[in-house]
Structure 1
Amino acid sequence: MSKADWRSVVLTAVLLALSFPPFPGGFLVPFTLAFFMHTILHRPDSRTFLMGYLKGVIWGALTLFWIGNNTIPGAVITILINALHYGFIWWILRRIYNYFPRLALLAFPILWVAVEQLRHFSDIRFNWLNLAYTQTYYLPLIQFIEWTGYLGLSFLLMVLSVWLYLVIYQQKRHPAFVAMGLVLILLPWGYGQWRLNQLESKTYPALKVGVVQPNVDPYRKWDAVFQDSAFAMLREMTLEMQEDRPQLVIWPETATPFFLRYEEGYLNQVYALVDTMNSYLITGTPDYRFIPSSRAYRTYNAAFFFAPGLRILEHYYKMALVPAAESMPFKQYLPFLRKIDVGGGDYFPGMEFKVFWMQPKVRQGMYIQHRFQLTGDTTSVPTRVGVSAVICYESIFPHLVRQFVQNGARMLTIITNDGWFGTTSGPYQHAQYAIFRAVENRVSIARSANTGISRLIEPTGRVQTELGLNRKGVLLGYLPIQNTPTFYTRYGDWFGYLNLVLALLILSGGHVARMVVEKRRG
């Protein structure tokens, strides 16, 4: 690679890193990719995979360096594997361009989305750097993902990138062509403004939610000596909200750093607390069960649900485990992998999209100047409300989250422990991504993070209130309960699968056409 190649690779990686939270540089994405496209299409095939791969490695290192706070080997492996996608996609673009330049440019957005769709699956799935996540600060622009999911936004960004490449580098500046690009921006933005106004013109049942952010050291809390004080802190912070009467209280992931199910003393204290507060409660906790079929115990990263006046313990087991941190990939097929210490706990995935059912008395709320608040009507009506707990890493996977809503959840909680990330960009990225889950499914989200960032997010994606990083405190607020499933909730990743099928057709058809062209040349 030449010095010019290195400059292009590094500049592209830096600009893409500046496009991700906490930086509001999402507008840079189409310009950056158009520039790199120009570079790649003027380089020989032999360099394109390496250039795309190195761009992915540097971009990943700048954006995902915080993984190293918990596991340096895990960070290195994640970055190196994740970058392979980018080497492949840029190499494919260059190969198609050799034979069919127009087809290559038309197909590039489809191929990109197809690759992002594939990253949702397998034990090493990791879609943290999907392009759509660069746009979390542009609320009107993202509203249409209730139809397509966030992959529709990735597609739009790639189409804009190709358009800018043609305008800037290929001098395609006919007024009609330039106007087409402006329409690509203004149409979704205009739809978003209209949709926000429409959603905020209605009244909704209002659920009062209390979120606890204890700000406990994520390493120290597992010390047996510290467990009593950690639990006492949760209890005291919850009781501070008693006069405000929250209908649902949320504690963060593994808030109780012991097997709560089997600790009778602590369990009874939680039951008593729920009765005193007259509130439902969701908490994160580790759990284990004996599995007769395998004659072994399995541990789980769990969420427990408590209801006032009841002694029934409902649970949800986290399904998407962090590769090489919570579980060793493929250990169910290769048992010897269980012997490898992954640091965060040797968990097994759950299998059920669990919905917890509440029957709170709710009042009506409405938007006044973009702020959701109670109406003057003091009538409260018992209302059956389904709520689900999404645990940490799961919240970046839209195809998982939507299934809770499809099963009946009309509000989501995200419980997480982002203390592992330290004071880095990681907690900001994770918190911002939750906005997409609210918009895709049009549900409110209450996010409880051990060290921050805790938030109350409305179905529009607007953050109602939040508690910042490394702060101790509680959040209280009314969240709207929206009962109409979106197109995306009902039909899932149809847009991603459509692009995947089209990509396969393009690649197979292109391969056949290439052989015909080469035969004629020969």
Structure 2
Amino acid sequence: MNNKYVLALLSAFLLWLAWPPIPYTGLVLLIAFVPLLLGIEQIIRNDSSLKGRKVFGLAFLTGFIWNTASIYWVYNAMSAQLPAYAALPISLIPFGLAPLLMATAFWLYYQLRKKRSLPISLVGLASLWISYEYLHQTWDLAFPWMTLGNGFATSHQLVQWYELTGIYGGSLWIWLVNILLFVLFLHRHQHYVLKRHKLVLSLLIGIIAIPVIGSIVRYSTFEEHVNPSEIVVVQPNIDPYSKFGPIPPEDQLQTLLQLSKSVSKPNTEFFIWPETAISSRSWIDEENFREYPAYEEILTFLDSYKNGNVLSGIESIRFYNDQRTTTARPYGSQFVDHFNAAVLVDNSSKLQFYHKSKLVPGVEQMPFGSALSFMKPLFAQFGGTTGGYGRQDEPSVFYSQSGIGAAPVICYESIWGDYVSDYVRQGAQFITIVTNDGWWKNTSGKDQHLQYAKLRAIENRRWVARSANTGISAFINQRGDIVQQTEWWVPAALAQEINLNEQLTLYTRYGDLIAFASLITAFLSILLLIKPTKKVV
């Protein structure tokens, strides 16, 4: 096998090692791109023709193997809700689309190498990569699961500085270390003249050591401000393949109520139930929810808790007299929107609803719905809704009668760092994640999803109360430690006294500044490609 392909496979393997839920394996990311960079260097220096295509192909191969091996479980999630003939092609979107974008970044790096110096080209590569990661979370085919900074989720003790930078700080750290290692390797083994190699080595040691040591100190000395609240998370363990079939909604509700009572205290303030926990044989009309038996039963249950609130996932609908939204569909003389939603029920007659915003492409929304509206009948045949689920554009916070602000994050939304921070900027004092990870079955997907919640806790210094239908439910403190968690696929409930927090971190205040800086640098790199100055590689 050609050496460059061996190097590409080695990079793919090292990248994959960071994603299984094994503590500290994320550190391999600090060396993972060096083999691929060396393989591309072989193409640039030794191959005589089609260099650009070969660079693109090698980078795509690495990305495709890494992505598919890490998120193989996506097919399970798709096949659970779509016919097999639709699940496979839609699964290929996250399997193949991200590698295409990754390969494009490396191809542009090669183009820079033809015209600019190695250092400038490497700066361009890092900025192009982080720009790709950021842009890949902002469009209708968004899937930021594999953003490099997420790879440190199992090494959260070493990335306490995410409260300053968010996950793009992790992506930048990875690229800085890999680039410096690559340059030092070229200097030592491939006759690349690095005039100040000792300075570069010192810089490398500092870039590795300072964040790690600083993080360990921050982790060891961090103290939460005492502001207690008693919370319960419930895991009913209702098989998602049966949830909408043989198990009556009434029985599902009784399971939730009984589990809630089993660990509650008189001063419990929030009961967190998972995604779509409240359901009926048909979708629940938000305007008339108070008329449903489930609502009355929840109110009766809350009579025992003076400041009690139920925060739950719910399948809901809204009716309009006109087509108020692009996702509303005709329903007799009216229009109707379907929502994957959350609701807050308290002892008053007030109801608060939140509609999931970050929808799963192909399953919960039709990508580029306005431009591809002619394809609505096709998506209907896939088993989804013809217009997709309705959504709201901005997050909203649920407030209890006592004034506590809770962030109702639904499933997939928890992998968007800046979006979760929007809840906190609006006043959320703790984060709830309601999810149904059973679609993925017993795969690493559920574990990865749990680990990512630790990063949200660190970025915002907020407790996370996670309720997953089939597991894994958990409480995560402000340092990112999992304080309690359930087992997979068992009915369970957990009670925990958490500390509410009102202070804002630097990341919460200012968001993804590193991503924005990378966008500017990437733009400047592309301008350098246009300028006709030529430098021989």
- 1:357 has 2:357 as partner: no
Q: Which residue of 2 aligns with 1:305?
A: 344
Deviations 1:462-492 (A, max 9, x none): 2111112222211111111121111111111
2:71 matched residue in structure 1:
64
Instruction: Kindly report which structure 2 residues correspond to 1:126-275, keeping only aligned pairs within 5 A, or say none.
Output: 126-171=143-188, 174-200=197-223, 202-223=224-245, 225-243=247-265, 245-258=267-280, 259-260=283-284, 261=286, 262=289, 264-275=292-303
Cα deviation for residue 448 of structure 1 reads: 0.6
Shift of 1:333: 4.2
Q: Is the 8 A contact 2:266 2:304 kept in 1?
A: no
Cα deviation per residue 1:385-416 (whole Å; 9 max; x = unaligned)? Answer: 21120000011111211111111111110000
Alpha-carbon displacement from aligned partner over 1:489-515 (angstroms, at most 9, x marks no partner): 111122211110111012202320xx1
CA contact (8 A) 2:111 2:529 kept: no
Q: Could you tell me which amino acid in structure 2 is paired with residue 142 of structure 1?
A: V
| 1:158 to 1:213, Cα distance in 2 relative to 1, 3 A | same
- 1:212: Cα distance to partner? 0.2
How is 1:441-456 mapped onto 2 (pairs within 5 angstroms)? 441-456=460-475
Which residue does the alignment assign to 2:309?
280
Number of equivalent positions: 491
Instruction: Confirm or deny that 1:109 pairs with 2:126.
Output: yes
Which whole-Å CA distance do the structure 2 matches of 1:266 and 1:385 have between them?
24
| Runs of at least 5 residues in structure 1 that lack an aligned partner in the other structure | 361-383
Q: Which amino acid aligns with 2:319?
A: F
The 8 Å contact of residues 136 and 436 in structure 1, kept in 2 or not, is answered as: yes
1:480 is aligned to 2:487: no
Change (3 A) 1:357 1:476: same
For residues 345 and 518 of structure 2, the distance between their equivalents in structure 1, rounded to whole angstroms, comes to 42
Structure-1 separation of matches of 2:320 and 2:201: 62
CA contact (8 A) 1:317 1:352 kept: no
What one-letter code is carried by the residue in structure 1 that aligns with 2:360? Answer: V
Q: 2:53 aligns with which of 41, 46, 51?
A: 46
Once the 2 structures are TM-superposed, how far is the Cα of residue 4 of structure 1 from its aligned partner?
3.4
Instruction: Verify the 8 A CA contact 1:256 1:283 in the aligned structure 2.
Output: yes
Tell whether 2:423 aligns with 1:404.
yes
Bigger mean CA deviation after superposition, 73-82 or 165-174: 165-174
Confirm or deny: 8 A CA contact 1:254 1:285 kept in the other structure: yes
2:313–2:343: 8 Å Cα contact kept in structure 1? yes
Q: 1:45 to 1:242 in 2, by over 3 A?
A: closer
User: Is the contact between residue 266 and residue 305 of structure 2 (CA under 8 Å) also seen in structure 1?
Assistant: no
1:257 Cα deviation from its structure 2 partner = 3.0
Please report how far the alpha carbon of residue 196 of structure 1 lies from its aligned counterpart in structure 2 after TM superposition: 2.5
Q: CA deviation at 1:245?
A: 4.0
CA distance in 1, matches of 2:30, 2:105: 16
1:26 partner SS: helix
Q: Give the AA of the match of 2:15.
A: L
What amino acid is the match of 1:293? D
Answer yes or no: is 1:27 the counterpart of 2:27: yes
Within the candidate set 141, 154, 162, 1:124 is matched to 141
The answer to which of 298-307 and 84-93 deviates more is: 84-93
Going from structure 1 to structure 2, the CA distance change for 1:175 and 1:334 (only over 3 Å counts) comes to closer
Note if contact 2:3-2:39 (Cα within 8 Å) is conserved in structure 1: no
How far off is 1:60 after superposition? 1.4
Q: Kindly tell me: are residues 8 and 175 of structure 1, through their superposed partners in 2, closer, same or farther at Cα, counting changes over 3 Å?
A: closer
Q: TM-score, normalised by structure 2?
A: 0.87
Q: Partner of 1:248: helix, strand, or coil?
A: strand
Point out where structure 2 has 5 or more consecutive residues left out of the alignment. Answer: 44-50, 79-86, 189-193, 324-333
Distance of 1:244 and 1:449 partners within structure 2: 24
Task: Check conservation: 2:398, 2:405, Cα contact below 8 A.
Answer: yes
4+ runs deviating over 4 angstroms: 260-263, 342-345
Note if contact 2:409-2:433 (Cα within 8 Å) is conserved in structure 1: yes
Q: Which amino acid aligns with 1:58?
A: I
| Corresponding letter in the other structure for 2:123 | L
Report the Cα distance in structure 2 between the residues aligned to 1:250 and 1:297, rounded to whole angstroms.
28
Provide the identity percentage. Answer: 29
Question: Is the 1:220–1:226 contact (alpha carbons within 8 Å) kept by the matching residues of 2?
Answer: no
1:351 maps to amino acid: D
Aligned residue number for residue 364 of structure 1 = none
Matched letter for residue 234 of structure 1: L
Q: 2:109 maps to what in 1?
A: 93
**Which residue identity lines up with residue 177 of structure 1 in the other structure?**
V
Which of 354, 379, 384 matches 1:316? 354
Question: In 2, distance between residues paired with 1:434 and 1:243?
Answer: 26
Equivalent runs, 1:460-499 vs 2, <5 Å: 460-499=479-518
Task: Give 1:329-478 correspondences, 5 Å limit.
Answer: 329-339=367-377, 340-341=379-380, 342-343=382-383, 346-360=388-402, 384-478=403-497
Distance 1:105 1:83 in 2: 19
* Contact 1:64–1:75 (8 Å) recurs in 2: no
SS at match of 1:125: coil
Deviation of the 1:244 alpha carbon: 6.2
**Deviations 1:361-390, CA, capped at 9 Å, x for gaps:** xxxxxxxxxxxxxxxxxxxxxxx3211200
- Secondary structure of the 1:255 match is coil
Rounded to whole Å, the distance in 2 between the matches of 1:137 and 1:329 is 32
Distance 1:12 1:144 in 2: 26
Corresponding letter in the other structure for 1:284: G
Cα distance, 1:211 vs structure 2: 0.4
In the superposition, relative to structure 1, how do residues 511 and 333 fare at CA in structure 2: closer, same or farther (>3 Å)? closer
Counterpart secondary structure, 1:276: coil
Q: Provide, for residues 439-471 of structure 1, a one-character-per-residue CA deviation record: whole Å limited to 9, x for no partner.
A: 111111111111111111112112111112222
**In structure 2, distance between residues paired with 1:468 and 1:81:** 33
Question: Is the CA contact 2:407–2:428 (under 8 Å) kept in the aligned structure 1?
Answer: yes
User: For residues 351 and 216 of structure 1, what CA distance do their matches in structure 2 show?
Assistant: 30
Spell out, residue by residue over 1:34-55, the C-alpha distance to the aligned partner (whole angstroms, 9 max, x if none): 1111111221222011111122
